[in-house]
Amino acid sequence: MALIDVLKKSNIQVNLSVKNEKQIIHEIAKLASQNQVLKDVSLISLETALLERENLASTALGNGVAVPHCRLPGITSFVVGIVTSKKSINFNATDNEKVDIFPFVIGPDKDPKEHLKVLSGMARLLRNPETRSKIRKADSSDQLFSIVTNLLTDKPITPEIPLGPSMRMLHIFIRNEDLFNDILQVFASEDLTGAMVLEAHESTEYMSNMPIFAGFWNSDLNTFNRIIIAVVKDSLLNQTVRNIEYVCGDLQKQTDVMVTVTDLHHAFGSLDF
């Protein structure tokens, strides 16, 4: 789900006169409750859910931005909007800056992955200082909606890159230590000594420690994650993948191993192992 698909102009207000966290949460709840999606949710219940989420950990991202959000039982779609305040207010931000930009996300409790996508999209958008500056200068809901939708729909122009040598890049993502040891041996052959290993952590492991995403993961996270990266000749690709399958089984049935193959447009230099 893309942010552009759920953000509505009716959920945008600018220059609200508020003095503290409870007042801005009340204004957000009041605006959101006008959506048909929340017709069976009382204003008090919505306001309470947003405040409880703030009590868990502040949703302030820093740089004058906070993203109040909550998940509710019984609703089937998202309510997403943005409000700004005339004056910045205290919002328990980790950078100690006051906040004046408040995008908000209210979603179904049974759809945490989509909720994360919307939250991440909003956070990514507002990390740009130019975007924050434009939002602060908006003096109407129409203007703010136009600013945000234009930013979400603009796509950079990518120049064409001429094709280079017949090389492929392999990424093998592994979450099982025994399989890792077996697959690593595949790259011990003379022609594949250029493989490198990265010790990795799932994004959820980092995100679980970020205040804005608090409460999404309550179970133990997988701790063994390795990535083998290798550049191989096109002529060796099929044999390499077959060798990987030989030691770990059918890749289509694997849940702890994933292999991706990418064309290389350019490859310069070499590594002597």
Q: What is the mean pLDDT of each run of 10 residues along the chain (273 residues)?
A: 88 96 97 96 96 94 94 94 96 94 94 86 89 95 94 66 68 92 75 77 76 68 84 86 88 92 79 61
In a domain, 68, yes or no: yes
Residue 123 and residue 187 share a domain: no
For 213-222, write each residue's pLDDT tens digit.
777 766 556 6
**N residues, the chain:** 273
In a domain, 31, yes or no: yes
In a domain, 159, yes or no: no
Of 153, 178, 203, the last residue of a domain is 153
Residue 26 and residue 120 share a domain: yes
Two tokens, residue 154: 């603009």
Cα–Cα–Cα angle for 184, 189, 192, rounded to 5 degrees: 75
For residue 165, the model assigns a pLDDT of: 57
Two tokens, residue 24: 């801005």
For residue 269, the model assigns a pLDDT of: 73
Place of tokens 């077996």: 182
Of 89, 118, 153, the last residue of a domain is 153
Of 197, 188, 193, 186, give the one whose Cα is nearest residue 239: 186
Counted domains in the chain: 2
Q: What is the dihedral of CA 235, 245, 267, 160, to 10 degrees?
A: 90
Find the domain containing 24 and state its range: 3-153
For residue 161, the model assigns a pLDDT of: 45
No. of helices (H) and no. of strands (E), the chain: 9, 10
Buried b (16+ CB within 10 A) or exposed e, 126-149: beeeebbebbeebeebeebbebbe
For residue 77, the model assigns a pLDDT of: 94
Two tokens, residue 44: 């008090």
How far is it, in rounded angstroms, from Cα 115 to Cα 3?
10
In a domain, 118, yes or no: yes
Residue 171 and residue 46 share a domain: no
How far is it, in rounded angstroms, from Cα 68 to Cα 105?
7
For residue 193, the model assigns a pLDDT of: 54
For residue 272, the model assigns a pLDDT of: 63
In a domain, 273, yes or no: no
**Residue 140 DSSP class:** S
Of 175, 181, 179, 134, give the one whose Cα is nearest residue 154: 134
For residue 206, the model assigns a pLDDT of: 75
- What CATH number is attached to the domain comprising 251? 3.30.70.120
Which residues touch 238 (CB under 8 Å, ≥6 apart)? none
In a domain, 225, yes or no: yes
For 76-130, write each residue's pLDDT tens digit.
999 999 999 999 999 999 899 999 999 999 999 987 888 988 998 898 889 889 9
For residue 42, the model assigns a pLDDT of: 95
How far is it, in rounded angstroms, from Cα 39 to Cα 46?
11
For residue 11, the model assigns a pLDDT of: 97
How far is it, in rounded angstroms, from Cα 257 to Cα 181?
12
